[in-house]
Structure 1
Amino acid sequence: MLIAEVSYRPVFAMRGRIPALRDLVQGMRGRDVTQLQQALAEAGYRRGSDREGYFGVGTAAALKRLYEKLGYAVPTVPGRTSAIAKNEAEKASGQDIGAAGGGKRDQLVMAPKSEVMFVPSFPARIVTVSDSVGTKISKDLLKLAVGGVRLIGRLNPSEGDIVEPGHVAEVLIEEDGSRHRAAVAKVGDLVTPKAGSKIRQPPYIPVTFKAKAPWKAELNGKSAQITVTSAATSDEVLTVPLSAITAPADGKTSVTVITGSGERRRVRVAAGASADGYVEVTPEGGDLREGDQVVVGR
């Protein structure tokens, strides 16, 4: 929950979809107060007898316990606790009990917007930190990414038609050599980097992969080599380099074989599964065997 400390004060994350747009002070009402109460309850700190959406003494006590647990003093602002007590007594009785007594100037508990970051879901992880220790904060200090670690690969556009959701993949983490089984979850649309970009990148198709168990947090940011199996054969097959396949004007796929005497002969083939620059072939009109030399394009 605690994600940073700025000038000896905490910054912590809590679940909620409404951004922290104002300082929440004891005595306030609103949907953002309800969100704070729900977030505190999720962390184990109940609002006591406070009504939902009202920042009363119960919510203040819950917030105080949270800060104490984190090791910080709860923030306060000057105010009159007698006015808060009067307000709560009127709510409980349904009657106007008159003006509150003079009372002393006291301190009201506050949840500063600078110390609370609401995120829509957990887990969440820090993806960028803009400044370092000892420097003055000049822009947004932190950026969080919600949800678990995702694995997204970049597919060559020429292979976009052969990769589909459900295809099995093997993921090799280059840093430690560990291997993981995964499957294609989603094939995205073609991404073409903007012209004039400082980092030159070729067009690619983003592919999202999923595993049986969630990806571990320690894999975040690590490079991976992904091998996708779009088709597989049960037995050994005859293959040729992909560049050896030709389709002349007659539209019949073939390869050109070089004989022992240096002559060339065309052999019609049916192409099958392909991987790593090779394609499965089945001769349909001629003799083609393991060890034959074939002409490849350049």
Structure 2
Amino acid sequence: MTAAKPLSRFFSGNRVIWLLAAVAVVFLTAGIVIARFIESPADAAAKVAPPEAGLITVPVENRVIANDVSLRADVLYDESVAVAIDTTDISGTPVVTGQVPEVGTTIDAASVVLEVAGRPVIALPGELPAYRTLRVGVSGPDVLQLKQALAALGINPGNVESDVYDAATVAAVDQLYVAAGYPSPAASEEDAAALQSARDGLRSAKDMLAEAETALTTAAGGAPQSVRMEAQRVVNDAQRALNQAVTTRDTPQPAALEGEAPVSPQSLQDAVDSAQEALDIAIAARDEANAGTGTSSEVTARDNARAAVEQAQADLDTALESTMTALPAAEVVYFSNLPRRVDQVQTKRGTTLSGSTPFMSVSGADVVVEGSLAASDAELLEVGMTGTFPVPDGGGTITGTVSEIVAATESEAPEGEDGGEGEGGDSAKSSRFTVTFVPEGLTEEQIAVLLGQNIKITVPVSSTGEEVLAVPAAALTAGSGGESRIERAASDGTTALVTVETGLAADGFVQIVSSEQPLSASDQVVVGK
């Protein structure tokens, strides 16, 4: 009795522990019993025999089959180009002094796109860049381009088929500067000095010619009147002396007085001869006075003076041409087409231009969509085809027409781009093409949303247009002769090969144009086993 009490106290003090142990034993026993009657799915599947192999079939469908070419493209203004001028001929520092355009400004023909050192840079239509200053006498394709540009503005440059910069071109360029609101370019100090020197030279040459002509007139007209009259008086005196000598000779002489020598006839004859000689000399002197001296030296002097005047006039004409209005290369910039839109401006008032560094970028005024395609995809497109692309944020769908397909340069080929998303993409960058689309009916709001965006544009290149019989491409096999076949499955499980003619293929389906045996939608064809 005494021994039973400690045992009773042991069980009563650990009653909870004994209860938990009993519950654990019950659950363990139940788990063992239940496990004998439960199977896992894997065990159940392992005890089941594999199914018999069967055919995988799909129905023939009626559907529209369309083949599209999709590409990523950028929305931008067309023909973006950098604009620069040659500042080497600018006198002084090429500082931007005004007329700096704002982004979005439209540039028209004859617009002033910038003012440098107080002089305008005028926009004109043309393909050739301005590479030299045009002045009177020069010729070439750049002169012809200038004349055609002026004529397009309604300014008459003279003969537009002539490539010579002449006086008519000068007058037209003067009108261009008037339209731009600037004075025509002034002549350089050297040219102005040369012009003044040429004018002075011509004036001096004309004075020398006048003097030479006066000297020639004087020489050709003989001695002065007083000299001629004096010469005639001497002749008259000599004639009277001769007459007197003759009279004396012919008159009988009185006898000589005593003591005087008689007058000899010989002395009288000598007096006549002497008087005759004096008369002859006087007549010769008179004739010389009337005829004047020789004029050969005066004629030579006059001819030389005339040649000097002609040369001085030619020098003046050359100097005048040098001072006539020229068109400096730094005051004009040509664009292949106008109007243009200013996209970027890289200068500001007070900035000094450097060489031929661009001062702004411009583009066409029209929005285009431009993307790149591999040659295999580009071959599927033609100018005039249309594609569609969505405007972000639910702005609708826009249609664009292919306007140009050109081979892309290496720098234009995007890095790592595989081409379009249509059939037959090609990753060869060496054979890529740039495709340009012209979107239709864009609103200002849509332009604002789209500009600068990279969008996906889809171009349908071929389509059945309506629903046709089609099967998955996996349903087609090739016969021994290269013909296309399908395997049609009957409801009883049998199959039969049917030769078919295929059409357009797209999106994994192939059009059935005709078949050796009639086919209809819902017929089952085998695509696998």
Assess same fold via TM > 0.5: yes
Name the structure 1 match of 2:502. Answer: 271
Alignment of 1:108-257 (within 5 A): 108-119=324-335, 121-123=336-338, 125=340, 131=346, 133=348, 139-141=357-359, 154=372, 163=380, 165=382, 168-172=385-389, 174=391, 177-180=396-399, 182=401, 199-202=415-418, 203=427, 206=433, 223=455, 225-233=457-465, 235-241=466-472, 243-248=473-478, 250=480, 251-255=482-486
For structure 2, list consecutive stretches of 5 or more residues without a partner in the other structure: 1-108, 200-308, 419-426
Distance 1:24 1:245 in 2: 74
The CA deviation at 1:146 is: 8.7
2:187 matched to 1:77? Answer: yes
Distance 1:16 1:205, change over 3 A: closer
CA 1:157 to 1:36, structure 2 compared with 1: closer, same or farther past 3 Å?
Answer: closer
Alignment of 1:30-41 (within 5 A): 30-31=139-140, 32-41=142-151
1:51–1:255 Cα change, 3 Å: closer
Counterpart residue type for residue 238 of structure 1 = L
Amino acid at match of 2:165: Y
272 and 55 in structure 1: CA distance in 2 versus 1, 3 angstrom threshold: same
C-alpha distance in 2, partners of 1:240/1:73? 78
Does the 8 Å contact 1:154/1:207 carry over to 2?
Answer: yes
Code of the aligned partner of 1:35: Q
Change beyond 3 A, Cα 1:287–1:126: same
CA contact (8 A) 2:115 2:121 kept: yes
Percent of residue pairs identical: 23
Structure 2 CA distance for partners of 1:179 and 1:282, relative to 1, 3 Å: same
Who is 2:292 aligned against?
none
Go from structure 1 to structure 2 and tell me whether the alpha carbon gap of 1:19 and 1:170 turns closer, same or farther (over 3 Å shift). closer
Indicate whether 1:280 and 2:511 are aligned.
yes
- Report Cα offsets for 1:189-225 as digits up to 9, x if no partner: 7x7979xx872122376486788x9x99x79977562
Q: Shift of the alpha carbon at 1:116?
A: 1.8
Q: Distance in 1 between matches of 2:156 and 2:325?
A: 15
Q: State the match for 1:4 in structure 2.
A: 113
The separation in 1 between residues aligned to 2:512 and 2:506, in whole angstroms, is 12
C-alpha displacement at 1:22, in angstroms?
A: 0.9
Q: CA deviation at 1:21?
A: 1.8
Q: Offset of 1:96 from its aligned partner?
A: 4.5
1:239 touches 1:280 (CA, 8 Å); kept in 2? yes
Report the residue type matching 2:325 in the other structure.
V
**Residue ranges of structure 1 left out of the alignment (5+ in a row):** 87-94
CA gap 1:155/1:249 in 2 versus in 1, 3 angstroms: farther
Secondary structure of 2:145's counterpart equals helix
Shift of 1:23: 1.3
* Structure 1 residue 237, shift from structure 2 partner: 0.8
Contact 2:151/2:160 (8 A) holds in 1: no
Q: 2:259 aligned with 1:29, yes or no?
A: no
SS of residue in 2 equivalent to 1:199: coil
Counterpart amino acid of residue 457 in structure 2: Q
Deviation at 1:10, TM superposition (A): 3.9
The CA deviation string for residues 23-56 of structure 1, in whole angstroms up to 9 with x for no partner, is 123x342123343233212212223699951343
Greater length-normalized contact order (CA 8 Å, ≥ 6 residues apart): 2
- Judge conservation of contact 1:50–1:59 (CA < 8 Å) in 2: no
Please identify which structure carries the higher helix content: 2
Q: For this pair of structures, how many residues does the alignment match?
A: 273
Equivalent residue number for residue 46 of structure 1: 156
Distance 2:166 2:363 in 1: 29
Distance across 1 between alignment mates of 2:367 and 2:513: 43
Check if 1:62 corresponds to 2:172. yes
Q: Distance in 1 between matches of 2:374 and 2:494?
A: 36
SS in 1 for 2:468: coil
Pairwise CA distance, 1:231: 4.4
* SS at structure 2 position matched to 1:230: strand
How high is the TM-score relative to the length of structure 1? 0.60
Per-residue deviation, 1:286: 7.5
C-alpha contact (below 8 Å) 1:267/1:286 kept by paired residues? no
TM-score (ref. length: structure 2):
0.38
Question: Whole-Å Cα distance in 1 between the matches of residues 346 and 129 of structure 2?
Answer: 22
2: CA distance, partners of 1:267 / 1:151: 47
Q: What SS does the corresponding residue of 2:187 show, helix, strand or coil?
A: strand
Q: C-alpha deviations, 1:133-169, integer Å up to 9, x for none?
A: 46665634467789988776655666567x3658853
* C-alpha separation in 2, matches of 1:30 and 1:258: 84
Contact 1:244 1:255 in 2 (8 A): no
Distance 1:179 1:131, change over 3 A: same
Read off the aligned partner of 1:226 and give its amino acid letter. Answer: T
- Structure 1 residue 179: Cα displacement: 3.8
